[in-house]
């Protein structure tokens, strides 16, 4: 190589941290008020600074703000523009403040908004799942373990399992929000501001619930970033699991469901195909979000106190993880709403007699046979059914009694419907329990709307 690259370009973070411009303005507005209350700024100086920041906000909104890469980051860009607009007074705004506590504050403000938006998207997905479950309350399909048909379940019960996963995601993001909701502003570079700033009032002004208790920790803490990235990673894992089921169910081998045309793509060579590409992309993006978490963890590992330039590397993974999970939640809600189920195929497969093996063992147990013994009897019974090439529905009572005298005529009443109805404990697949959970979910949505 004939020349070296430009170190200034390598140092610059403007390409990505300009996303925080409006948050930086919010923090600066609040800081100006705090400086006024601390007698650092006069009332006229405060008004001039606020007017200048208002002008910058208009420029940002109109796309006319003069971003300059040579100024490194969004903080210096806004400060320089403020000085251009109002003169040297603009430099007074930085009194008692450092880029260290400034970026920590901007990032937390961004994270609060991001979490709130993700929570809205999660709730929308949950509502979509509940709607789909309720409209398919009578549909039965095989439940699977190890991708082998296991026992009959209601389709609604299956769909609501993803409601429960999303419920845990909501809880994780709410907990992350609590840890984000701490104001670091006033920590300055690492030792705290030398001015008599009312940090409690400053926190209230910016909408923070708490203030940081150690200035060195406050400027170097990025735990809240990893909290969000972990919550986002788990959300993506859950979306990926649902995507995988949609992909499987869309195959001819299953033939259980198909997503709306907008959520599928055709083949470039095979005109008959409808590929579940949106589901595949969501499944593929899990690694991207989990990679953001790993990237931030590795960046934080071994950093000495307090601020280090390594922390500049926290924002791109964070921004990407937030955008990816937002987009994926949006697409998943639309795709679930568009799903069309092959109810006849599901119901037909749910009538597979082998799915009733556990129910027959339970039948014997209710007659007084220890379950482990019942298990052995039914295993032998089904081995014989396979050997004879018959189905469960071909058997007469003598066939059953050859395996246990406890079998009686009422064994013929066992069906997928009766097996589902028998599972009538909280959290199980009976229609009563599933309807109860749907009603609880809807009550929760109403409570959310009131808050």
Active site positions, annotated:
146, 267
Identify the three-state secondary structure at position 233. Answer: helix
Residue 7: CA count within 13 A, CB half-sphere: 0
Residue 209 to residue 231: CA distance in whole angstroms:
21
Between the CA of residue 108 and those of 10, 178, 217, 237, 343, what are the distances in Å? 25, 11, 14, 25, 47
Burial class for 53, CB neighbours closer than 10 Å (0-12, 13-18, 19+): buried
DSSP code, position 265: B
Neighbours of 191 (CB within 10 A): 12
CA torsion sign for 28, 31, 33, 36 is: negative
Spacing of C-alpha 38 from chain mean position: 42
Output phi, psi for 264, to 5 deg.
Answer: -130, 165
Q: Are strands 182-183 and 257-258 parallel, antiparallel or unpaired?
A: unpaired
Residue 359 to residue 420: CA distance in whole angstroms:
9
Q: Which residues contact 239 (CB under 8 A, 6 or more apart)?
A: 282, 283, 286, 328, 329, 332
């Amino acid at each position: 190589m004939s020349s070296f690259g430009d170190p200034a370009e390598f140092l610059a973070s403007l390409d990505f941290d300009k996303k925080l411009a409006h948050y930086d303005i919010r923090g600066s507005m609040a800081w100006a008020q705090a400086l006024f209350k601390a007698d650092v700024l006069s009332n006229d100086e405060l008004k001039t600074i606020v007017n200048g920041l208002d002008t910058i906000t208009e420029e940002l909104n109109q796309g006319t703000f003069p971003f300059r890469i040579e100024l490194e980051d969004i903080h210096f860009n806004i400060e320089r523009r403020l000085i251009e607009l109002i003169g040297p007074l603009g430099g007074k705004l930085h009194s008692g403040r450092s880029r260290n506590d400034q970026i920590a504050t901007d990032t937390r403000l961004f994270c609060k908004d991001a979490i709130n938006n993700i929570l809205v998207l999660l709730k929308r997905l949950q509502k979509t799942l509940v709607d789909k479950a309720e409209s398919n309350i009578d549909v039965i399909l095989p439940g699977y373990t190890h991708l082998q048909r296991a026992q009959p379940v209601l389709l609604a019960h299956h769909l609501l399992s993803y409601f429960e996963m999303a419920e845990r995601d909501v809880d994780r993001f709410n907990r992350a929000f609590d840890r984000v909701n701490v104001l670091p502003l006033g920590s300055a570079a690492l030792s705290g501001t030398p001015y008599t700033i009312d940090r409690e009032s400053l926190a209230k002004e910016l909408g923070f619930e708490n203030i940081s208790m150690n200035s060195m920790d406050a400027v170097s803490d990025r735990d809240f970033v990893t909290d969000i990235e972990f919550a986002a990673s788990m959300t993506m894992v859950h979306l990926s699991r649902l995507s995988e089921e949609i992909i499987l169910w869309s195959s001819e081998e299953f033939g259980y469901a198909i997503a709306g045309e907008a959520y599928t793509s055709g083949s470039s060579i095979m005109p008959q195909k409808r590929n579940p590409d949106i589901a595949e992309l969501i499944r593929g993006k899990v690694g991207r979000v989990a990679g953001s978490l790993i990237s931030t963890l590795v960046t934080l590992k071994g950093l000495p106190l307090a601020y280090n330039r390594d922390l500049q590397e926290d924002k791109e993974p964070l921004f990407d993880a937030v955008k990816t999970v937002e987009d994926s939640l949006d697409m998943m809600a639309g795709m679930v709403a568009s799903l069309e189920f092959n109810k006849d195929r599901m119901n037909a497969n749910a009538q597979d007699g082998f799915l009733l093996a556990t129910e027959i063992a339970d039948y014997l147990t209710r007659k007084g046979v220890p379950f482990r013994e019942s298990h052995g009897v039914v295993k032998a019974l089904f081995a014989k059914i396979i050997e004879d090439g018959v189905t469960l529905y071909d058997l007469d009572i003598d066939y059953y009694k050859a395996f246990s005298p406890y079998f009686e005529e009422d064994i013929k009443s066992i069906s997928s419907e009766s097996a589902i109805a028998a599972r009538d404990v909280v959290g199980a697949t009976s229609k009563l329990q599933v309807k109860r959970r749907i009603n609880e979910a809807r009550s929760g949505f109403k409570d959310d709307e009131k808050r």
